[in-house]
């Protein structure tokens, strides 16, 4: 939790957020990424994260599969995922 991080490390040492949604539930023991709002974290989870005062001025570094374009395989972070994060940030103000 954020409180645990504050106690153990200190929020002053947090310089960025590694952001991705998850194909697997919390505690599943696997690291499978999903596009923003498409996984178990979902849009509501990102709203909570992005509204937290400790995170409002930090950069979010996306590690997502991306969406396929013109029949090609997804190639990672893309405009759609960036736009989704921006929309969530705007919604939570």
- Banded pLDDT at 83 (limits 50, 70, 90): very high
Q: How far apart are CA 18 and CA 60, in angstroms?
A: 6
In the predicted structure, residue 1 carries a pLDDT above the cut 90: no
- d(Cα 76, Cα 1) in Å, to the nearest integer? 27
Q: Are 66 and 78 in contact (CB under 8 A)?
A: yes
Q: Is the pLDDT at 69 greater than 90, yes or no?
A: no
pLDDT band, very low/low/confident/very high, at 15 (cuts 50, 70, 90):
very high
pLDDT tens-digit profile of 22-60? 999 999 999 999 999 999 999 999 999 999 999 989 999
Taking the C-alpha atoms of residue 93 and residue 84, their distance in angstroms, rounded to an integer, is 14
């Amino acid at each position: 939790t954020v409180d645990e991080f504050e106690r153990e490390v200190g929020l002053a040492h947090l310089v960025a957020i590694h952001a991705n949604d998850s194909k697997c539930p919390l505690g599943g023991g696997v690291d499978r990424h999903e596009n923003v709002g498409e996984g178990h974290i979902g849009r509501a989870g990102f709203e909570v994260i992005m509204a937290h005062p400790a995170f409002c001025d930090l950069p979010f570094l996306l590690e997502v599969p991306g969406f396929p374009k013109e029949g090609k395989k997804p190639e990672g972070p893309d405009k759609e995922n960036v736009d989704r994060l921006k929309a969530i940030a705007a919604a939570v103000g």
